[in-house]
Structure 1
């Protein structure tokens, strides 16, 4: 008796799956060429926001800095600002709008110097003194109507000796009238981001002390916060770094016939360390900027000093005496130089963890390395621990295609850091750029890449059937 053999069920299933797979493969190969080219590039997924990165080890040690209260500042308001970063390191009523007295002249100085820099005027241009300037009272060099002096001569008298008449003469020469110049001052204040500043004249005098026929119709007096004064000073030292060729002149005769020279009202100039009357105030690195005094304003001073390449701007307003404005300024600047340092937290041209590469379509090498375009510097307490620095990456939501130049911006990195002992969180955003050119691949490489990707996807799909 002959027995009939039966195949195992598993063998039948295997044959069925193999047949189906073969049919699918043959059908898909028939239509592979065009789709393969289309699949060559794929769709790039763009990362819109990378998670924050934080080092695993975080230290708690940080330099102790004294409290602002411990300085016992005898002022109505005060500010300490680092002009490069714009960081405010000390703030006592810094946003309070107060009469700034002759610190107002800093805006006149900025505008005149800026117009000279732009070529609209020249330092040796001759100014003819008009009635308004000749009748201006207060600190002055006793200009007479019709006198003629160069812009540089008048600017020097304004910057070092706070001459009101020289200031008005410059304002009228530049704008045609002092009131027209005041419009320019208020426009500049807006551009600079000064939030409380309002100018009524070019000098800082109370309106009632101006020559009556040249007073504005408005009764709104000149005001400016300590923060606004610091911002204005920042623009001066940044846009006109040669400011100190005027502000460091200790004394100078305005006219050869004058019996007494003009004396710089900034007693804190470093050069005064050898001057008997002023050496008690002389401060290392001090090279500007502007004093002020009226009955309403009290005594004010915007000072700036530089040491080892680091500059600070200090503002004190409403001190009780001429000498006290310098005593309080010393406290503010010492607070900065003794307790803080400018430190590079992140070097330029570095990679960011988790965002080392970006995909570029049609490139020879589709993974292009990324780096930051610049370093990150913060003003921090001396010796502060910086391990708590955080980095947040935001990529541009766009598809990148070769060819692509080195330095192409593809996103940003925002670094944030809150130093121990400081209330503010410091932030700086830099660009994330390509570290090299991304050259376009030739047609053959693109074709072979497309075939490879197609068959890779195909066989992955077949494998998943089993």
Structure 2
């Protein structure tokens, strides 16, 4: 040790602080070396080297650049509406937006919320489709589109639901609301609570049907004068919940015509003229649209004509909403423009495949593992709805690890962080983003004590060698 100090002086070490640090390190090294050489049983395994994991952002080409088709402007569609929205329900992406956040009277599109709640309660087992509903005074006195229910009539939930979904029957809707909640106003409370849960920001429901308050039976009108309103965006969000949570919705909405009672002279007619099945119906074939299977029309003097439509083509479903059109035919003409805009110009594309490695974050260091470098992959793929032929090479991946260090054992598939992919196509305003989990691609088994000891000794001498090397 004296020799070392002498050498230090010869090398020009003049700082007292530096000398103290070096002496302390040398003494600690000698003591530690004695412990390793003469200990018979390795009671303590020295700490392993740790690599601090950090947040990383990488840009990785996802596909070769191709010629993208030019998307026409929304203005070029010449939409004659007060508002319109087009969304893809799986991702929630908005493909077209014209005054989409403007709160307007939705007329009978209100019934989509009644439909959702009733179907959801049946799905949860609180009610059954064959439950008998006894019609009350409020339903019997309800005006507008109806199936002429009388007080005391009895029908199943499914019969009334069918009349509501395909023929927009106001009296059937009220009968269901009263059966579910005890009164229509109590059911309206459920509707408004559900709207909050879904994240609808403009929606307010005054009744279960979408009628103006003054058109309700006076005895059953709410105390508030606040009418039912809903934006096109909220209507699309509600429709998204319907098609996602109740994918069998179209067993009701695709019925073209049906008698409510066997004795009825005329059947109920589905008010959605755009059903694909109508392509062979003389009166409606001009409106029939490929893939159309729902969802809900609406009309009042205040609302004008409205329509929430949904269609599927090549496995891709789109939801459109038009509000405030001139008449019942115009709502279908405008809906065709909106849906064509989506199907003709956009495609759903897998940008990232499942089990993909992320450039710059291919591995994590796992302490005390047999193999300290454990590969990482994503737990699922990433799909975006993008303009047809769009270049996706600008896709970005941002990795965030949940811990700074990881210690064995870890099972294969253990979540260790997330990857947020973001992309914005040229010529579009909306930045697309999706976050998936980053998981281990194999088990990280814990090493035995001997391997840990050997690794610690190797690390020690490696550090000692580096320390000595740095002296010269």
- Kept in 2, the 8 Å contact 1:39–1:453? The answer is no
Counterpart for residue 300 of structure 2: 294
C-alpha distance after superposition, 1:356-377 (max 9, x if no partner): 0001111100110000111110
- Kept in 1, the 8 Å contact 2:365–2:406? The answer is yes
Structure 2 unpaired stretches of 5+: 1-5, 12-22
Counterpart for residue 465 of structure 1: 471
- Partners of 2:139 and 2:209 lie apart in 1 by 11
Q: Does residue 64 of structure 1 match 2:70?
A: yes
- Partners of 2:125 and 2:356 lie apart in 1 by 41
Q: Does residue 29 of structure 1 match 2:33?
A: yes
- Partners of 1:125 and 1:195 lie apart in 2 by 34
Deviates more, 1:393-402 or 1:270-279: 393-402
Q: Does residue 281 of structure 1 match 2:281?
A: no
Structure 1 unpaired stretches of 5+: 1-11
Counterpart for residue 257 of structure 2: 251
* CA shift for structure 1 position 44: 3.8
Counterpart for residue 105 of structure 2: 99
Q: Does residue 346 of structure 1 match 2:349?
A: no
- Partners of 1:461 and 1:28 lie apart in 2 by 15
* Map 1:99-178 → 2, pairs under 5 A: 99-178=105-184
**Equivalent residue pairs, number:** 451
Q: Does residue 45 of structure 1 match 2:52?
A: yes
C-alpha distance after superposition, 1:215-234 (max 9, x if no partner): 00000000000000000000
* CA shift for structure 1 position 13: 6.5
TM-score, scaled to structure 1: 0.93
- Kept in 2, the 8 Å contact 1:40–1:449? The answer is no
- Kept in 1, the 8 Å contact 2:45–2:452? The answer is no
Distance 1:339 1:172, change over 3 A: same
* CA shift for structure 1 position 24: 8.5
- Partners of 1:90 and 1:293 lie apart in 2 by 23
- Kept in 1, the 8 Å contact 2:410–2:443? The answer is yes
Deviates more, 1:31-40 or 1:391-400: 31-40
CA RMSD of aligned residues (A): 2.2
Q: Does residue 222 of structure 1 match 2:236?
A: no
* CA shift for structure 1 position 59: 5.0
Counterpart for residue 362 of structure 1: 368
* CA shift for structure 1 position 39: 3.6
Counterpart for residue 9 of structure 1: none
* CA shift for structure 1 position 43: 3.6
- Partners of 1:23 and 1:136 lie apart in 2 by 95
- Partners of 2:420 and 2:75 lie apart in 1 by 32
- Kept in 2, the 8 Å contact 1:62–1:420? The answer is no
Counterpart for residue 206 of structure 1: 212
- Kept in 2, the 8 Å contact 1:410–1:433? The answer is yes
- Kept in 2, the 8 Å contact 1:40–1:454? The answer is no
- Kept in 2, the 8 Å contact 1:40–1:453? The answer is no
- Partners of 1:201 and 1:13 lie apart in 2 by 93
Deviates more, 1:385-394 or 1:122-131: 385-394
Counterpart for residue 328 of structure 1: 334
Q: Does residue 182 of structure 1 match 2:188?
A: yes
Counterpart for residue 312 of structure 1: 318
Deviates more, 1:213-222 or 1:28-37: 28-37
- Partners of 2:129 and 2:102 lie apart in 1 by 36
C-alpha distance after superposition, 1:317-348 (max 9, x if no partner): 00001100000000000001101000000001
